[in-house]
Amino acid sequence: MKIKITQWVYTLGLIILGFGGPVQTALAHGEKALEPFIRMRTIQWYDVAWSKQQFKVNEEVAVSGRFHVAEDWPVSVPKPEAAFLNVSTPGPVLIRTERWLNGKPWVNSVALQPGGDYEFKIVLKGRLPGRYHIHPFFNLKDAGQVMGPGAWLDISGNAGDFSNGVKTLNGEIVDMESVGLLNGIGWHLFWGALATGWLLWWVRRPLFISRYRMLQAGMEEVLITPTDRLIAKAVLVAVPVIVLAVNAVAVNRYPNAIPLQASLDRILPLPALVNAGQVDAEAIKAEYSVAKRAMVFTVRIDNRSDKPVRIGEFNTANVGFINPELPAVSSQAPATAAVLKLDDDTPVRPGETRTVTVTAQDASWEAEKLDGLINDADSRVGGLLFLYASEGGERYISSVSAAVIPKF
């Protein structure tokens, strides 16, 4: 007898445990998690800057910048029909209070257009003190997370001081940190108490072995008494009545309740900032020297503006290579140290078309795991090439891409 019952429990346990599996794990930083061609040829970030990096709990901080959606979007990556501009925090240590895209506020996901130029701003409010490395990044549907440049943020102050009051349309101000919490706990306790009562009603009697014996002996009417039946009937009637009654109260109390809002935002790109036409740059060829950790581009520049221009920077996957002859320029803050070498750095005159060899040599190719490109199914490199007018300082940006040939 005893063995049989134990076996039931064991076998039941086994089937139930069979449902075990990996519990969802929180996504970590993941800057280098995606294949290099995705990081280089989808969302191309530049001019990303933080309003400040040291602030207190309850203080707001803004990160703003621009990104270009690459024309040469990888064929193996789904088009950005739903994308979400996010921030890589370890949980909500900051809350997001505002988010802007091309000057429009938005809270949902957005459809982006390849070739489009966008300007963003995210306003965050300090919630938990600490030191965090934070990046703006895009969640791309079915593709992954494309990180923007990261920065260290120092939040000081007291977690307990954090407040997040929100005004509802009725004019009531609610505290997001606690609204509905006690109410929710109260309902769980209420139903929990009823359930506990029901369980105790049965558990207080001899259970498994005794009941099994009596059931086998045909003593069913002893196991379920008339009082039990009465209570079950009460449960059967009272529980639905209570549910419907409290539901009616809730419906009356919140007559303006609306369904969850689920819309996809359509925000059009800005007038072209990248590949805008006046100065064209096109990568004809790219070679990657594995030993030197250097990407060598052959770039054709067609200057149709009225001023001479020079190449100032090549930027890809948040690694910037700067032409040291134009030290004042960088699309990134703080500027990265990697150097961009040109075989001919004399300004390209208006109307001139010139083919230049540009060398981006740095250990970053390896450190940022971008050199894996040569082993990928899609081994095209991409990035933004920044050109500057020698006089006036105007900036022309080209999104370039080319197939990479490895040199061992």
Partner 1 sequence: MSLPVTTQSIKPYTGEKARLVRAYDYLILVLALFLFIGSFHLHFALTVGDWDFWVDWKDRQWWPLVTPLMGITFPAAVQAVLWDKFRLPLGATLCVTALLIGTWITRIFAYHYWNFFPVNMVLPATMLPGALVLDAMLMLSNSLTITAIAGGSAFALLFYPSNWPIFALFHQPVEYANAQLTLADLFGFQYIRTGMPEYLRIIERGTLRTYGQYAAPLAAFCSALLCTLMYALWWYIGKWFATTRYLSKI
Which CB atom, from 181 or from 337, has the smaller least distance to partner 1? 181
Distance from C-alpha of 67 to C-alpha of 38, rounded to nearest angstrom: 14
Q: What angle do CA 12, 17, 22 make, to 5 degrees?
A: 165
Which CB atom, from 16 or from 291, has the smaller least distance to partner 1? 16
Provide, rounded to whole angstroms, the least separation between the CB of residue 312 and partner 1.
33
279, 285, 282: which is closest to 310 by C-alpha? 279
Which CB atom, from 75 or from 217, has the smaller least distance to partner 1? 217
Stretch that binds partner 1, among 101-109, 272-280, 384-392, 394-402 (CB under 8 A): 101-109
Residue 150 in the binding site for Cu ion (CB under 5 A): yes
Pull the structure tokens for residue 138.
Answer: 């895009």
* 150 contact, one of partner 1, Cu ion, none, CB 5-8 Å limit per kind: Cu ion
Q: At what angle do helices 181-203 and 226-253 cross, to 10 degrees?
A: 170
89, 42, 44, 115: which is closest to 331 by C-alpha? 44
* 133 contact, one of partner 1, Cu ion, none, CB 5-8 Å limit per kind: Cu ion
Note every long-range contact of 232-236, with CB atoms under 8 Å and residues 24 or more positions apart, other chains counting.
Answer: 235/198
Residue 5 in the binding site for partner 1 (CB under 8 A): yes
User: Site for Cu ion (CB under 5 A): how many residues?
Assistant: 2
Residue 15 in the binding site for partner 1 (CB under 8 A): yes
Pull the structure tokens for residue 162.
Answer: 């954090």
Q: Which residue, chain included where needed, has tokens 């938990």? A: 128
Residue 188 in the binding site for partner 1 (CB under 8 A): yes
Name the phi and psi angles at 385, rounded to 5. Answer: -110, 125
Stretch that binds partner 1, among 165-173, 312-320, 328-336, 399-407 (CB under 8 A): 165-173
54 neighbors 154 (Cβ within 8 angstroms): yes
Q: Which residue, chain included where needed, has tokens 């689920």? A: 262
Provide, rounded to whole angstroms, the least separation between the CB of residue 333 and partner 1.
23
Provide, rounded to whole angstroms, the least separation between the CB of residue 352 and partner 1.
46
Residues 6+ apart with CB under 8 A from 233: none
Provide, rounded to whole angstroms, the least separation between the CB of residue 249 and partner 1.
7
Which CB atom, from 71 or from 154, has the smaller least distance to partner 1? 154
Provide, rounded to whole angstroms, the least separation between the CB of residue 27 and Cu ion.
13
Instruction: Please select the residue that binds partner 1; options are 169, 291, 328, 377, rule is CB under 8 A.
Output: 169
Which CB atom, from 97 or from 375, has the smaller least distance to partner 1? 97
User: Strand (E) positions, 290-394?
Assistant: 294-303, 309-316, 319-322, 339-342, 353-361, 380-389
User: Site for partner 1 (CB under 8 A): how many residues?
Assistant: 122
Question: β-strand 60-69 against 43-50: which pairing, if any?
Answer: antiparallel
Which CB atom, from 89 or from 332, has the smaller least distance to partner 1? 89
Binding string, residues 45-84; x marks residues near partner 1 by CB under 8 A: -------------------------------------xxx
DSSP 3-state assignment of 149? coil
User: What residues from 226 to 265 belong to the interface with partner 1 (CB under 8 A)?
Assistant: 228-229, 232-233, 235-236, 239-240, 242-244, 246-247, 249-251, 253-254, 256-262, 264
Dihedral angle sign, alpha carbons of residues 366, 368, 370, 376:
positive
**Rounded to 10 degrees, what is the CA torsion of 85, 64, 118, 400?**
-100
400, 376, 385: which is closest to 37 by C-alpha? 376
Binding string, residues 105-144; x marks residues near Cu ion by CB under 5 A: ----------------------------x-----------
Instruction: Please select the residue that binds partner 1; options are 195, 290, 337, 363, rule is CB under 8 A.
Output: 195
Residue 128 in the binding site for partner 1 (CB under 8 A): yes
Residue 156 in the binding site for partner 1 (CB under 8 A): no
322 neighbors 329 (Cβ within 8 angstroms): yes
Binding string, residues 291-310; x marks residues near partner 1 by CB under 8 A: --------------------
Please tell me what DSSP assigns to residue 33. -
Identify the bridge partners of residue 17 per DSSP, sorted by sequence position. none
Per CB under 5 A, residues contacting Cu ion are 133, 150
